[in-house]
Amino acid sequence: MRAARLIKMVLLLQSRPSMTGAELARELEVSERTVTRDALALSEAGVPVYADRGRAGGYRLVGGYRTGLTGLARTEAEALFLSGLPGALRDMGLEDAASAARLKVTAALLPSLRNASDSAAGRFHLDAPGWYQEPETPELLPVIAEAVWDDRRIRATYRRRDAEVERELEPYGLVLKAGVWYLCARAGGTFRVYRIDRFSSAAADEEFFERDDDFDLPAFWEERAAQFARSILRAEVVVRATEDGARRLPYVTDRAAALEALAAAGPPDGGGRVTVTLPVESLDVAYSQLLSLGPEVEVVEPQELRDRFAGAAAGMRDLYR
């Protein structure tokens, strides 16, 4: 335990010009008295730790000393590739590994490059969750994530509608989509997608599985996401849209479906409106989506939806008369 702390202290001092006793105590989670004893122990072991006295004093390495103790452990290396997703790291239980990895990389860099991570962090941030929602971390995510890293099979109970089913899965990868965690896993030779918050139990086996080297997680997810988006578009509406309405249509309905429908539409009529046959999830969903476009889009079919819009327009007219 102390050996690991001494190594971390050297790496911290190697990555910065100097650090106060209080800063080192905070980083190492020890008292300042312990920092003083550790600095003395390092000096006696031949590590040139120098202590500057006074209010502006602190600890530093002298003589350009550099240690080679910067090898990354496997979990640290894996976490480093996810270091742009601090929330995801925390949810999967990898925050400490990422912190250790960043420290080792910083210590190994030349002094002129040590602020590169701060510079990049100040210019790029990935905010995975969607707007207007507080993402929830599934309770079983760390267990499943560990099985993913280790290539271990898991036995899980999964909620499907009103029933629970037992599954033996080979967990291949995790996807964080708009604040929701998904597991891509193989079951019975077939790759499937599972929402992690629908697992009511999950436990990793001692048995490992052999990964399919041809499996491409981003490509698999892109294909499944496209299939899902198409599968929920079970209804169709016909609308006449103005130029502005046609421009805004992909932003209020399914983007891919709207763009495809607009591309297949004919030329505008004499009033400048284009007739579009648009796939939608349901008439209720179409009503809420198209209502935001107001008079820029006129529903032609089905008559049921057209009547609903006519009723809404009459109600708005009476309200604002």
pLDDT of residue 130: 60
In order of 14, 113, 166, the CA distances from 108 in angstroms are 8, 10, 47
What digits encode the pLDDT tens for the residues 166-198? 999 999 988 877 677 889 999 988 999 999 899
96 near 90, Cβ under 8 Å?
Answer: no
| Cross-strand pairs, 175 | 182
pLDDT digits (tens, 9 = 90+) for 220-269: 888 888 888 778 888 999 999 999 999 999 999 988 889 999 999 999 99
Measure the CA–CA gap between 217 and 236, rounded to whole angstroms: 32
Residue 183 β-bridge partners: 174, 194
User: CA 89 to CA 96: how far, in whole Å?
Assistant: 9
Distance of CA 247 to the CA centre of its chain: 30
**pLDDT on residue 118:** 47
The pair of three-digit structure tokens given for residue 188, joined into one six-digit string: 């019975």
Cα of first residue to Cα of last residue in the chain, in angstroms, is 77
Output the pLDDT for position 304: 95
Residue-wise DSSP of 103-168? HHHHHHS-GGGTTHHHHHHTT-----SPTT------TTHHHHHHHHHHTEEEEEEEEETTEEEEEE
pTM over 0.75: no
Helix (H/G/I), strand (E/B), else coil: 184: strand
SS3 19: strand
**Model confidence pLDDT, tens digit, residues 53-103:** 766 678 888 876 666 555 545 455 444 444 445 555 555 565 565 555 555
> Is the preceding omega at residue 279 within 30 degrees of 0, hence cis?
no
Give the span between the Cα atoms of 46 and 63, in whole angstroms.
12
Q: What is the mean pLDDT of residues 33-53?
A: 82
